[in-house]
Structure 1
Amino acid sequence: MRRRRPLLRAAAVGGGAYMVGKHNANRQAEQSQYQQDQDDRISNLEAQQQQPSYQQAPPAPQPPPAPAAAPSPMIDQLNQLAALHQQGVLSDEEFAAAKAKLLGT
């Protein structure tokens, strides 16, 4: 006759049942926490929507525009040269020579 080990079997079954119960309890706690977080977010959004629009912060005032100085033709020509240099039409040496000629140096 085979000798059975009832304590070992009971421990294995009990341990398995414990782990399943613990897993289910953790999952249920996570679901309830997730649901609570969602409820809080919805409540916050509803509260924000119910506030009158005049309580929202007004946009920051923009600084007044700088007085427009009359653009000098020299600055326009320098900007044109810089644009040509950035586009690759003028090499570094050509750009330096044209700038020196324009500035009179």
Structure 2
Amino acid sequence: MPRFLRRAAVLGATAHVAAKRGERRAAEEAPVQEAPPPPVPAAAPAPPEDRYGDLVKLKELLDSGVLTQAEFDAEKQRVLAS
């Protein structure tokens, strides 16, 4: 067998082995698709502690003159209804 044919055969075999190793590495390094995040549950009603804090803030706004009595009453009903 002439020398250039042996060289071609060795290069071909080397290229084949390298390609197979590259495929294997690519498969091992492929990113794993994660499951989609679970859906976010709907907001639960505010616990009584939060409602109490909201009412205190509203009272402070009423006392400082930022809210009128009618606005305070409307907001208080909204907080208590939630």
* TM-score calculated relative to the size of structure 2: 0.40
Whichever of the two has the greater Rg, that structure is 1
